[in-house]
Structure 1
Amino acid sequence: MKTSIYKSEEGKRKIAEHYENYIKTFTCDFERLYVRTSFGKTHVLVAGPSKGKPLFLLQGGNCINPMTLSWFSPLIEEYRIYAPDTIGHPGYSDQNRLSAKDNSFALWITELMNYFNLERCAFIGPSYGAGIILRLAVFMPNKIDCSILVSPAGIQLGSKLEMIKNILLPLILFNTFSSSSEKYLTKMTSIMSANSMKEIDKLVIGDIFKYLKLEQEMPKLTEKEELMRYNSPTLIIAGEKDIFFPANRLNVAARKVISNLTAFKTITMGHFPSEENLVEINNEIKEFLNTYY
């Protein structure tokens, strides 16, 4: 296939099935539309009251949009949620990859905002999605009313040795030995979620590992000088047991880089939050939005 992030048509079909199955777990209705941008066609999920304050939500990397959107589903009751499938990641947007080291994602988001007639709004992003928001903060800071970065990429990485031992090597073994794939998938998802991965998420992650050419380029680590023009209120929520972006490392780096960091909340969770974690996360987010948005 031309310009595809999938290893096969079967893999593309499987991920689309997961996407549709996840959509069915929501109690709300979605408007689904395609927006043409100069970077490619973008599929967007829109939900929440039409008069609600706009809230852009950017998905985690190597993941499907409705999975990470589900983490913040309580916000749909009050806010108008715009959740695009990130170009070059699993979903229905075009599959050409953008760099998370330059201004590409900032321009892409701006084009989407223009389509929806949004001059500026609030942003939420977990993981890679938070890294994209930081690129927007660097190049188009006036677009952000406030931002919530959950287990964010783009600030500080965890131990590379731990990631190699607990994620990369099991991933190689997962893709090499089909007879033992379940064992290695369980090891990875347990580490990623601090032993709280939902079965539906485990199935999705397993097929993404199996059928996807994974995005391996992390968003650029943001430098203090890049954010000199960014002064919007910012909340970071981080996981104490997050192997990719651990709270202790993030806390030190974020306070040096983001001068307008409003609050840094540490939660006892992995990179994937548990249901109990999500209650706490959404309470923190609602309080933050009520105060600053």
Structure 2
Amino acid sequence: MSNLSIYKSEAGEREIQRAYREALDSWPVPAAHVRVPTREGETFVVVSGPAGAPPLLLLHGSGANTAMWQGDVAAWSRHFRVHALDLIGEPGLSAPSRPPLGSEAYARWLDDVLAGLGITEITIVGTSLGGWMALDYATRRPERITRLALLCPGGVGRQKMGWLAKALLLRPFGAWGMRRSAGAVAGLSAPQFRAALDAVTLTFTHFTPRTERLPIFSDEALGRLRMPVLVMVGDRDAMFDSAETARRVRRCVPHATVELLPGVGHAILDQTESVLRFLR
């Protein structure tokens, strides 16, 4: 699959890759860049932290890449061997492959990634689409997951599509419209999130996101989560019904810790220490 299937132009792809490589150059801790061959194509992984520490896997959200973990990795890599990977089909350095979300393809892909990294059991932190992929893997391979931390995960509460109509209304307004809709959807309109909003705006100017709805996990699938689980959702999430996510997790995974964050949108930032307390 050519990269142009996920980018609007070759120039746009170069622009996103340039910004990403700059972010990798300013990674806050020493890191190795690993390329793992998988049945879906090559997967790019940034590995940080002590070699003998317990392994931690980070799965970013849609329209993002490993750079989104820059604010977390210094703290987490003191205690874990952190593997931040670029999801396939997203604007990182992994293959542009996008198999159907309702299939076992993503679990098999993660099997290949973990095998390539020499990992049998893993703790996972996933956000949004990465949260969906973490849940998909944990419900299919529960014996392999030691802990599961999910930030605004997809696949539990209803996926809202109203934001898409608003974003399309703003499209004719060019860069301003793109910035306005990205800020509203991600909940990044506050001044302290300017850098994060810049990154999101750049990406969605040149990148074609997935449009298929995330499959919803059944009660029975969620009931397979026997490992310790943390779920953090914002009560102003424009993309997923957070109240429903919280309600279903509390009902189906009674041992889970569920935090509904007041005044927070889809992007859950500044939770490094809260997540670390759970991971440890």
The alpha carbon displacement at 1:174 in A equals 4.2
CA distance, structure 1, for counterparts of residue 71 and residue 184 of structure 2: 18
Q: Would you say how many aligned residue pairs link Structure 1 and Structure 2?
A: 276
Asked if 1:219 is matched to 2:222, the reply is: no
Deviation track 1:79-108 (CA, whole Å, cap 9, x = no partner) reads 111111101111111101023222111111
CA distance, structure 2, for counterparts of residue 207 and residue 62 of structure 1: 10
**Residue 49 of structure 1: aligned partner:** 50
Q: Which runs of 5+ in 2 are unaligned?
A: none
**SS across alignment from 2:134:** helix
Instruction: Choose the corresponding residue for 2:202, options 192, 204, 207.
Output: 207
Supply the RMSD in Å over aligned alpha carbons: 2.1
Asked if 1:231 is matched to 2:226, the reply is: yes
CA distance, structure 1, for counterparts of residue 86 and residue 217 of structure 2: 23
CA distance, structure 1, for counterparts of residue 6 and residue 225 of structure 2: 33
**SS across alignment from 1:40:** coil
CA distance, structure 2, for counterparts of residue 91 and residue 273 of structure 1: 20
Mapping of residues 140-151 of structure 1, within 5 Å: 140-151=141-152
Asked if 1:31 is matched to 2:32, the reply is: yes
Instruction: Choose the corresponding residue for 1:284, options 269, 274, 279.
Output: 274
- AA at the equivalent of 1:83: A
User: Percent of aligned pairs with the same residue?
Assistant: 24
CA distance, structure 1, for counterparts of residue 205 and residue 170 of structure 2: 8
TM-score, normalised on structure 2?
Answer: 0.90
Does the 8 A contact of 1:224 with 1:258 survive in 2?
no
The alpha carbon displacement at 1:41 in A equals 0.9
Asked if 1:168 is matched to 2:177, the reply is: no
Mapping of residues 75-90 of structure 1, within 5 Å: 75-90=76-91
Deviation track 1:9-67 (CA, whole Å, cap 9, x = no partner) reads 11110110121222244321221121101111111111111121100111111112212
Deviation track 1:133-171 (CA, whole Å, cap 9, x = no partner) reads 11112211111011000111110125x3xx42xx32343
Asked if 1:249 is matched to 2:239, the reply is: no
**Residue 193 of structure 1: aligned partner:** 187
> Residues 28 and 170 (structure 1 numbering): CA distance in 2 closer, same or farther, change over 3 Å?
same
- AA at the equivalent of 1:37: T
CA distance, structure 1, for counterparts of residue 178 and residue 208 of structure 2: 18
- AA at the equivalent of 1:289: L
Mapping of residues 153-164 of structure 1, within 5 Å: 153-157=154-158, 160=160, 163-164=161-162
Asked if 1:136 is matched to 2:137, the reply is: yes
Does the 8 A contact of 2:37 with 2:116 survive in 1?
no
Q: Which runs of 5+ in 1 are unaligned?
A: none
- AA at the equivalent of 2:120: E
> Residues 44 and 211 (structure 1 numbering): CA distance in 2 closer, same or farther, change over 3 Å?
same
Deviation track 1:103-131 (CA, whole Å, cap 9, x = no partner) reads 11111111111112111110000111010
CA distance, structure 2, for counterparts of residue 110 and residue 54 of structure 1: 15
> Residues 142 and 220 (structure 1 numbering): CA distance in 2 closer, same or farther, change over 3 Å?
same
**Residue 70 of structure 1: aligned partner:** 70
CA distance, structure 2, for counterparts of residue 126 and residue 257 of structure 1: 20
The alpha carbon displacement at 1:76 in A equals 1.8
**SS across alignment from 1:168:** helix
